[in-house]
């Protein structure tokens, strides 16, 4: 009889507040209204040309090309002493969203082998002696590090994209919610995925690295409106300020809430849009390539459902236990 086992992938979910909805009653019908719908549209439309801030991507953007598989580690010469085999029914997580779980029976093989005589791992380095902050050598190293270190800032952005043509942004400089600044953009912020940092030349002329964290949601207003109408409900679209079309008027945005005198907060808005003006064609092409690669991979997996892989393990008992390093307290145990 086979043994039933389930294996689950560990999933880390990072939640960003993208958009909220409120429900009210209008003539007996439920009305769903975006939280952004109450934003006014009297703010000034800005473009990257209104700011001296510039930005660029220092590295390629992910285009959906899979990394080559890691080479399998070479086994040392082994002498098998005994082997046990069993069949296990397994259920694994889908390889990508929208696909069924991976199910099947695997062959699990466990070999007990003779000690292959692998060398002991290198001992940990000895603890360094503490140096006072007044030590001249330490101060010189700190000064050199500060002189060569590029300043890094963090941009945390929540983006809700409407119909792939307008985006409501919530930006948090340094991840600080108390300095939140919000507004609308005429860009599709799906194009701002696929990279983790970019370079910014600020209003002060200094070049900084911007570590970029973004959560993106998408809403198809026509589809949502039709879906709600089928259930006797009404969808109220957000009051999007008038912005030029990207194709004819170029990159533009409107800040609708937050402290516009906060230089760091405004630099997020300005640098994101300056980045798109400089790298938008590349960003859009990389996004389209990732979508195409995902669709191609999904179609392949549907046509060729994967099966769980067999497992082979090797165990041995060391003929000579590892010698504890001299700087490790052997009474606390050591790796064997």
What six digits make up the tokens of 210? 């911007």
Residue 131 confidence class, pLDDT cut points 50, 70, 90: low
Least confident of 43-47, 280-284, 300-304: 43-47
pLDDT at residue 127, rounded to an integer: 74
Residues 6+ apart with CB under 8 A from 298: 96, 98, 99
Is 208 inside any structural domain?
yes
Q: For residue 303, with 0-12 CB atoms within 10 Å meaning exposed, 13-18 middle and 19 or more buried, which class applies? A: exposed
pTM of the entire predicted model: 0.73
Q: What is the mean pLDDT of residues 236-258?
A: 91
Neighbour-count burial of 27, counting CB atoms closer than 10 A to its CB (0-12 exposed, 13-18 middle, 19+ buried)? exposed
Q: Name 100's Cβ contacts closer than 8 Å, sequence gap at least 6.
A: 94, 305
Q: Report if residue 226 sits inside a domain.
A: no
Q: Output the average pLDDT for the chain.
A: 82
* 302, part of any domain: yes
Residue 334 located in a structural domain: no
Q: Write down the pLDDT at residue 224.
A: 93
Name, in order, each residue with C-beta under 8 angstroms of 29's C-beta and a sequence gap of 6 or more: 232, 233, 234
pLDDT at 18 over 60: no
Residue 225 has pLDDT above 70, yes or no: yes
Name the strand (E) or helix (H) holding 70. none
**Confidence tier at 252 by pLDDT (50, 70, 90):** very high
The string of pLDDT tens digits covering residues 115-124 is 998 888 888 7
Residue 42 has a pLDDT of 43
Domain-located, residue 144: no
Contact 217, 15 (CB under 8 A): no
Angle (CA) 54-59-60 rounded to 5° is 115
The residue with tokens 């402290």 is: 259
Is 80 exceeded by the pLDDT of residue 126? no
pLDDT at 174: 86
Q: What are phi and psi of 23, to 5 degrees?
A: -115, 135
Categorize the per-residue pLDDT at 216 as very low, low, confident or very high, splitting at 50, 70 and 90. Answer: very high
Q: How many domains does the chain have?
A: 1
Distance of alpha carbon 37 from alpha carbon 320, whole angstroms: 72
Residues with Cβ within 8 Å of 242's Cβ and at least 6 positions away in sequence, in order, are 41, 45
The pLDDT, as a whole number, for residue 315 is 93
Residues of the domain holding 292: 41-63+76-116+150-219+242-318
What is the arithmetic mean of pLDDT over 196-221? 92
* Extended strands (E) in 127-206: 152-162, 166-173, 181-185, 197-201
In a domain, 123, yes or no: no
Is residue 281 over pLDDT 80?
yes
| pLDDT exceeds cutoff 80 at 5 | no
Collapsing DSSP to helix, strand or coil, 225 comes out as helix
Give residue 37's pLDDT. 41
pLDDT surpasses 50 at 43: yes
Q: Is residue 54 assigned to a domain?
A: yes
Contact of 315 with 336, CB cutoff 8 Å: no
Q: Of 12-26, 234-248, 262-276, which range is least confident?
A: 12-26
Mean pLDDT of 258-271: 89
User: CA 152 to CA 199: how far, in whole Å?
Assistant: 9
**Structural domain includes residue 264:** yes
Task: Kindly list the distances between the CA atom of residue 1 and the CA atoms of 82, 88, 311, in Å, as whole numbers in the listed order.
Answer: 22, 9, 18
pLDDT of residue 325: 61
| pLDDT for residue 282 | 95
């Amino acid at each position: 009889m086979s043994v039933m086992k389930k294996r689950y992938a560990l999933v880390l979910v990072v939640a960003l507040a993208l958009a909220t909805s409120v429900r009210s009653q209008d003539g007996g019908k439920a009305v769903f209204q975006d939280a952004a719908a109450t934003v006014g549209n009297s703010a000034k439309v800005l473009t990257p040309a209104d700011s001296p801030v510039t930005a660029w991507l220092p590295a390629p953007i992910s285009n959906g090309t899979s990394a080559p598989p890691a080479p399998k580690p070479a086994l040392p010469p082994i002498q098998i002493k005994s082997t046990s085999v069993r069949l296990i029914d397994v259920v694994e997580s889908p390889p990508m969203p929208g696909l069924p779980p991976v199910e099947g029976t695997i062959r699990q093989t466990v070999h007990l082998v003779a000690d292959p005589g692998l060398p002991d791992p290198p001992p940990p380095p000895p603890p360094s002696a503490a140096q006072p902050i007044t030590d001249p050598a330490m101060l010189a190293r700190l000064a050199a590090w500060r002189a060569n270190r590029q300043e890094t800032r963090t941009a945390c952005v929540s983006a809700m994209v409407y119909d792939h043509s307008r985006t409501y942004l919530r930006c948090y400089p340094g991840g600080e919610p108390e300095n939140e600044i919000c507004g609308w953009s005429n860009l599709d912020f799906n194009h701002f995925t696929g990279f983790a940092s970019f370079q910014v030349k600020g209003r002060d002329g200094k070049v900084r690295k911007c570590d970029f964290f973004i959560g993106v949601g998408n809403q198809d207003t026509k589809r949502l409106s039709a879906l709600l109408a089928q259930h006797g409900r009404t969808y109220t679209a957000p009051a999007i300020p008038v912005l030029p079309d990207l194709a004819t008027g170029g990159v533009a945005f409107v800040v609708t809430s937050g402290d516009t005198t906060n230089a760091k907060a405004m630099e997020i808005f300005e640098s994101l849009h300056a980045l798109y003006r400089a790298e938008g064609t590349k960003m859009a092409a990389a996004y389209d390539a990732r979508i195409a690669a995902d669709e191609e991979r999904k179609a392949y997996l549907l046509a060729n459902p994967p099966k769980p892989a067999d497992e082979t393990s090797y165990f041995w008992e060391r003929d000579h236990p590892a010698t504890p390093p001299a700087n490790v307290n052997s009474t606390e145990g050591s790796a064997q």
